[in-house]
Amino acid sequence: MPIDSPWIYPTLMCTPPGRAGSVFPTETVLPLEAEAYAVTQEGEIWRVMVKHSGEVLYLGPGPVELVESPAPF
- Is residue 64 within 8 Å of 15, Cβ to Cβ? yes
Residue 7 confidence (pLDDT): 61
Tell me the whole-structure pTM to 2 decimals: 0.78
Reading the chain (73 residues) residue by residue, the pLDDT tens digits are: 345 556 677 899 999 887 666 777 888 999 899 999 999 999 999 999 999 999 999 999 999 999 987 776 6
Residue 2 confidence (pLDDT): 47
Q: Compute the distance between CA of residue 64 and CA of residue 17 in angstroms, rounded to an integer.
A: 11
Nearest to 64 by CA among 14, 11, 30, 24: 14
- Between the alpha carbon of residue 34 and those of residues 1, 7, 52, the distances in Å are 31, 16, 13
Residue 71 confidence (pLDDT): 72
Q: Compute the distance between CA of residue 71 and CA of residue 23 in angstroms, rounded to an integer.
A: 23
